[in-house]
Amino acid sequence: MKTIIDISKFKFRIFQYLAAIGVNMGMISIGMHYGWPSTSLPRLEAKNSTIPITSDEGSWIVSVLPMGSVIGDILSAMTLRYLGYKTLIISTSLPLTLSWLLIALAKSKTLIFTGRIIAGIMDGILFTAIPPFLTEIADPEIRGFLGMSYILAMVFGMLFINVLFLCVSEVTTAFIASVISLLILAILPWIPDSPYHLIMKKDVLAAKASLQKYRGRGEVVEEMYRITKIIIENNEDGKFIDLLNNRFNRKSLFIAIGLTVFQQTSGILAIQSYCATVFDESRQFFDPTISNLIYFVVYLFSTLLSQLLVDISGRRFLIMLSSGIVIPMLLLNGTYLYLREFTTIDTTSFDFIQLVAILLYVSSFSFGLNTIPTLISSEIFPSNMKGVGLCMVNICFSIVSSGVIKLFSLTKDSFGMCVPFYTFAIFSSAGMIFTVFFVPETNRKTLEEIQLDIRGQKE
């Protein structure tokens, strides 16, 4: 019978769990950076602010994080093959601490901008290095659970910083955040690097020792053979041109970018920006601050649910289930907004529909569309192509997400708020079709078996 976590094997997998805890200290810090503007920006833009900023400057403070992420993606693609996942992740610890110290000690908006740019670069590095690292060290039975843990850590960071803002000052919050990323240095130096990376570096003894630690047993000859065989067969240098020249690499890139495009065109980032309006309009039900916390709690627990189910139900099923709820919620909210904006119908008696639809949307998005595309992307590229492959996927993410936010702004201003919701529903429906015909099921398969599936071969 399939179980979420096999307790009898826990002690053998202890290094896998420790590695996940170590790398996710960085993701908690990144999540706190993403959650920081929701409370800090209104205070900075207030008339009595000690560091006064304009609304336009506030939008740039938000935007520099994903802009810096693109730089981090490129740096990772250039260095990952040489430095390895572990070294690259460790290298983000002190810069992340510095980014929070700059925000905590800021007396000018320049320091805030600088801290956010540094955080964005570290965000790009971590998003390129952590997913493949976790998928390469994990047993197939728990690869989904571990491989998605960084998303849960990031969402936890968003919730954590909003809770801290209710309890302590912004400066104290930033100082607390600066300590979290230092925990990377307390854990990761004692954790071995990925055996895949060590084999690519031709350090066979270190690769064997790494596998023995991660598997909790001395006998790893068969797995060493499988890993070595697939790495030799994928003998490219890990350059961008290799990603395009090899038809199997192109296939993996097509699947990963397709999943990313349809993930973002479901409208999550645009709808998150719209949530403040929904919470304000729903103040007769909840105070906007409480609604904001409810939003992040729903986000966190839905992500946790996905993490617990992914190795039981499979990847494709969760994407389909998630899309199957997201689409009607988008249509429901779009219809409500259409009736409110373009008809004479009095909608005040069912204004609660908007809040309910948004919360159901984010919960259903979180347990499938939010988590599975990044997991599958980290599984389907061969080890020597993961750096450049995930770099391209992350750059695509940044471009598409920015375009979606702009599309949301243009369509709601030109045609009404209901139009972008209907548009996102159409894209989400196309994403379901894409999943049915193109996305492979990777659940409980070794990374070597996944590569054989991509090639249409049998073991």
Domains of the chain plus CATH, in order, are 11-191 (1.20.1250.20), 236-459 (1.20.1250.20)
Q: Which of 140, 76, 75, 398 is nearest to 257 (CA)?
A: 398
Does pLDDT of 215 surpass 80? yes
If phi > 0 it is left, if psi is from -120 to 50 it is alpha, else beta; for residue 267 that is left
Q: Are 303 and 155 in contact (CB under 8 A)?
A: yes
pLDDT tens readout for residues 75-127: 998 888 889 999 999 999 999 999 999 999 988 889 999 999 999 999 999 99
Q: What is the pLDDT of residue 1?
A: 44
**Would you state the pLDDT for residue 458?**
60
Global pTM reads: 0.86
Burial class (CB in 10 A: 0-12, 13-18, 19+), 307: buried
Distance CA 189, CA 325 (A): 43
For the segment 358-373, what is each residue's pLDDT rounded down to a tens digit?
889 999 999 899 989 9
Q: What confidence score (pLDDT) does residue 400 get? A: 87
Which helix (H) or strand (E) segment holds residue 241: the answer is helix 240-245
pLDDT band at 10 (very low <50, low <70, confident <90, very high): confident
Query: pLDDT (tens digit, 9 = 90+) per residue, 382-413?
Result: 888 888 899 899 889 888 887 887 788 788 87
Average pLDDT over residues 186-196: 93
Mean pLDDT (the chain) is 88
pLDDT digits (tens, 9 = 90+) for 18-45: 999 999 999 999 999 988 887 787 778 7
Tokens representing residue 302 in the block: 């839905």
| Whole-number Å distance between alpha carbons of 376 and 386 | 12
User: What is the Cα–Cα distance from 130 to 114, expressed in whole angstroms?
Assistant: 24
Q: Which residues contact 255 (CB under 8 A, 6 or more apart)?
A: 376, 377, 380, 438, 439, 440
Q: Which residue has the higher pLDDT, 155 or 293?
A: 155
Nearest CA-CA partner of 13 in 117, 173, 139:
139
pLDDT over threshold 80, residue 437: yes
Residue count of the chain: 459
| CA 249 – CA 268 distance, rounded (Å) | 28
User: Is a pLDDT exceeding 80 seen at residue 453?
Assistant: yes
Look at residue 90 in the predicted model and tell me its pLDDT.
96
Q: Comparing 442 with 237, which gets the higher pLDDT?
A: 442
| C-alpha–C-alpha distance, residues 385 and 87, integer Å | 18
The token pair that represents 138 in the structure block: 């994990």
Name the 3-class secondary structure at 394.
helix
50's tokens? 């000690």
Token couple for 149: 């843990």
Tokens of 127: 């998003």
